[in-house]
Amino acid sequence: MRSRPGAVAPGTTLRSSSIFTDRVFANGHTGVALANDGSAQYPVVTTDGAHWRIAGPPVHVDAADGAAGVGYVGVASSRTFFAYGSSVVDVTTDRGRAWWETYLGELVTAVVPGPSGGIVAYVQQQQNSSGSAPIVTSQYVSHDGGRRWIYSTKLLAAE
Indicate the average pLDDT of the chain: 84
Determine whether 143 is exposed, middle or buried from the number of CB atoms within 10 Å of its CB (0-12, 13-18, 19+). Answer: middle
For the chain, what percent of residues have pLDDT higher than 70? 84
Asked whether the predicted pLDDT for residue 4 surpasses 50, the reply is no
Asked whether the predicted pLDDT for residue 159 surpasses 60, the reply is no
Hey, where are the domains in the chain?
13-152
Beta-strand runs (E) in 55-134: 60-61, 72-75, 81-85, 88-92, 100-103, 107-113, 119-126
pLDDT tens for each residue of 99-145: 999 999 888 999 999 888 899 999 998 666 666 667 888 999 999 99
pLDDT at 121: 95
pLDDT at 5: 45
pLDDT tens for each residue of 12-33: 888 888 898 889 999 999 999 9
Provide the whole-model pTM.
Answer: 0.82
Q: Which CATH architecture has domain 13-152?
A: Beta Barrel (2.40)
Mean pLDDT calculated for residue range 35-42:
83
Mean pLDDT calculated for residue range 55-81:
81
pLDDT at 86: 86
Asked whether the predicted pLDDT for residue 64 surpasses 60, the reply is no
